[in-house]
Amino acid sequence: MPWKVFVALLAGVLGLAALTVAIATEVLPGADHANAWRLFVTGAMLLALAWRGLARRDR
């Protein structure tokens, strides 16, 4: 497996983890909503990076 594919898959896994933690943080009572949104945006950016990295590999 080329290292670029590994990095893209790692970014995807980290992005999904960040989104999961952000959603879990948001539904907990007394949560810090600013941190949840930061995690959500970070997760979305990591998923976009992974998607772009895997899409470029096919060309």
pTM recorded for the entire structure: 0.68
Of 41, 55, 44, 51, give the one whose Cα is nearest residue 15. 44
Q: What is the pLDDT of residue 1?
A: 65
Residuewise pLDDT in 10s, the chain (59 residues)? 677 788 888 888 888 888 888 888 777 777 677 777 788 888 888 888 888 877 775 55
Mention every residue, 6+ apart, whose C-beta is less than 8 A from residue 50.
8, 9, 10, 11, 12, 15
Distance CA(36)–CA(55), nearest Å, equals 28
